[in-house]
């Protein structure tokens, strides 16, 4: 059963879990780097050809400048790489050159993967709405790095080698350049250009968080020029050519950074206006709902008052007497006699009809003026005489 925790960007990690994640990232990066180093070390011929290519006449930059020199009829632009002579004065010099060139090559190839792993590590700490912008930095950083590296390798390195390799203060001194110094020069100018090409990303980041603005960058342009010259002098070999060749793209990237800052400010102003419009719309909607609710409550209160007033008016009205006579029926039954009193109407023949002519009905009136009917059983005279004879 695996004890590995499921990956959850929203879950908080402890300090120990962070260290464990960093360890995993370092292990993966080191594995990739070692594999690349082994591959590049095994193909030393290709790697060293790339390293020494800037001193060959077939190098693209050398051919371009020689073509321009022939076209313009000026030897100032012509590059003389054949005048550069390399030597090794150390026992392990060439072996170390092989290791160093393979190491640098593996780092350059593994750099995009390293940036991607770092972004995956910090991704859970980035708000969800900013992850889209952060991944843009993760993608553009290696792109600008490679662009700067190629610019330094194809433009700055051959010009710097031509200037430094052919520069003489006296005819009595010949330039025999150590191979380690040559490699250092090529790598330093190439990596200096790669670092300087990160300037647009730096400006975008600072403009996004509000540290710099396009107006401020325009206002302090002279100070920026001086700072870029100092930066170029620090990261390049101690020669004016390399410094100028680094300064020119840096200044161009600075101007491009002003454009980036302007776009960010325009987008921010648009988003702010959209946000303010949304807030105003929500406020107006809330006010309209409150107004409708108040009107509804007022209407309900008016209806309630009207209903209460109508009920009070009905209670105050006098009640009209009913025109229909109230019928009352009194029935008196005497269980110890054969006489019964029942209310009856004016038609005396109805009783005879009901009793089939076998009852003797009489009408009287009580003290309340009500008419009562008293009826009893009438015996047959013949039946009575027969009964008397029987008894005798």
At 30, is the pLDDT very low, low, confident or very high (cuts 50, 70, 90)? very high
User: E strands, 74-157, where?
Assistant: 85-87
**Above pLDDT 90, what percent of the chain?**
8
Lowest-pLDDT choice from 13-17, 40-44, 298-302, 363-367: 363-367
Q: Given a cut of 70, is residue 354 above it in pLDDT?
A: no
Q: By the 8 A CB rule, do 219 and 169 touch?
A: no
- DSSP letters spanning 228-251: HHHHHHHHS-SSHHHHHHHHHHHH
**Environment class of 287 (CB within 10 Å of its CB; exposed 0-12, middle 13-18, buried 19+):** exposed
pLDDT computed for residue 33 by the predictor: 92
List the end-to-end C-alpha distance of the chain, in Å, as a whole number: 127
Domain segments of the chain as ranges: 15-167+174-275, 341-391
Q: Give the model confidence (pLDDT) of 105-121 as tens digits.
A: 899 999 989 988 888 88
Average pLDDT over residues 213-239: 83
Q: By the 8 A CB rule, do 176 and 85 touch?
A: yes
16 secondary structure, DSSP code: H
Q: Given a cut of 70, is residue 162 above it in pLDDT?
A: yes
Average pLDDT over residues 96-100: 89
Cα angle vertex 74, ends 68, 78, to 5°?
A: 60
CA pair distance 109, 34, nearest whole angstrom: 12
What does the H/E/C string look like for 149-192? Answer: HHHHHHHHHHHHHHHHHHCCCCCCCCCEEEHHHHHHHHHHHHHH
Q: Given a cut of 90, is residue 72 above it in pLDDT?
A: no
Nearest to 36 by CA among 104, 130, 94: 104
Query: What number of other Cβ atoms are within 10 A of residue 157's Cβ?
Result: 26
At 123, is the pLDDT very low, low, confident or very high (cuts 50, 70, 90)? confident
Q: Give the model confidence (pLDDT) of 296-342 as tens digits.
A: 888 888 888 887 777 776 776 655 555 555 444 444 444 444 444 44
380 secondary structure, DSSP code: P
Q: Give the model confidence (pLDDT) of 243-275 as tens digits.
A: 887 888 888 988 988 998 888 888 888 888 888
CA pair distance 96, 104, nearest whole angstrom: 12
At 366, is the pLDDT very low, low, confident or very high (cuts 50, 70, 90)? very low
Average pLDDT over residues 41-52: 86
And the tokens for 57?
């006449």
Mean pLDDT of the chain: 76
pLDDT computed for residue 352 by the predictor: 52
Q: Given a cut of 60, is residue 227 above it in pLDDT?
A: yes
**Above pLDDT 70, what percent of the chain?**
74
Q: By the 8 A CB rule, do 9 and 124 touch?
A: yes
Q: Give the model confidence (pLDDT) of 181-217 as tens digits.
A: 888 888 888 888 888 888 888 888 888 888 888 888 8
What does the H/E/C string look like for 277-340? Answer: HHHHHHHHHHHHHHHHHHHHHHHHHHHHHHHHHHHHHHHHCCCCCCCCCCCCCCCEECCCCCCE
Compute and round to an integer the Cα radius of gyration of the chain: 58
Average pLDDT over residues 285-292: 88
């Amino acid at each position: 059963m695996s004890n590995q925790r499921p990956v959850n960007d929203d879950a908080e990690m402890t300090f120990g879990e962070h260290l464990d994640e960093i360890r995993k990232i370092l292990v993966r990066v080191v594995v990739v780097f070692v594999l690349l180093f082994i591959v590049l070390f095994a193909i030393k011929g290709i790697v060293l050809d790339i390293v020494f290519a800037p001193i060959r006449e077939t190098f693209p930059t050398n051919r371009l400048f020689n073509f321009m020199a022939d076209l313009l009829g000026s030897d100032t632009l012509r590059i003389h790489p054949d005048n550069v002579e390399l030597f090794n004065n150390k026992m392990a010099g060439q072996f170390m050159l092989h290791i160093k060139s393979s190491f640098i090559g593996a780092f350059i190839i593994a750099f995009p993967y390293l940036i991607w792993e770092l972004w995956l590590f910090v991704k859970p700490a980035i708000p969800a709405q900013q992850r889209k912008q952060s991944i843009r930095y993760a993608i553009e950083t290696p792109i600008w790095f490679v662009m700067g590296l190629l610019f330094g390798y194809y433009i700055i390195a051959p010009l710097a080698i031509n200037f430094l390799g052919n520069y003489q203060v006296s005819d009595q001194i010949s330039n025999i350049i150590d191979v380690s110094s040559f490699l250092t020069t090529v790598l330093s100018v190439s990596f200096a250009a790669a670092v300087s090409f990160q300037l647009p990303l730096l400006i975008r980041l600072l403009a996004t968080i509000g540290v710099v603005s396009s107006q401020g960058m325009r206002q302090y342009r002279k100070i920026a020029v001086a700072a870029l010259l100092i930066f170029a002098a620090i990261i390049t070999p101690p020669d004016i050519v390399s410094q100028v060749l680094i300064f020119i793209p840096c200044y161009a990237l600075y101007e491009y950074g002003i454009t980036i800052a302007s776009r960010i400010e325009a987008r921010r102003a648009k988003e702010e206006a959209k946000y303010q419009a949304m807030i105003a719309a929500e406020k107006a909607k809330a006010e309209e709902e409150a107004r409708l609710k108040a009107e509804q409550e007022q209407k309900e209160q008016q209806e309630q008052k009207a209903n209460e007033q109508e009920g009070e008016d009905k209670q105050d009205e006098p009640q009209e007497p009913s025109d229909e006579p109230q019928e009352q029926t009194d029935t008196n039954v005497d269980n110890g006699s054969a006489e019964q009193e029942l209310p009856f109407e004016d038609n005396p023949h109805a009783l005879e009809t009901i009793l089939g002519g076998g009852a003797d009905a009489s009408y009287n009136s009580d003290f309340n003026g009500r008419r009562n009917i008293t009826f009893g059983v009438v015996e047959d005279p013949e039946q009575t005489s027969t009964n008397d004879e029987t008894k005798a």
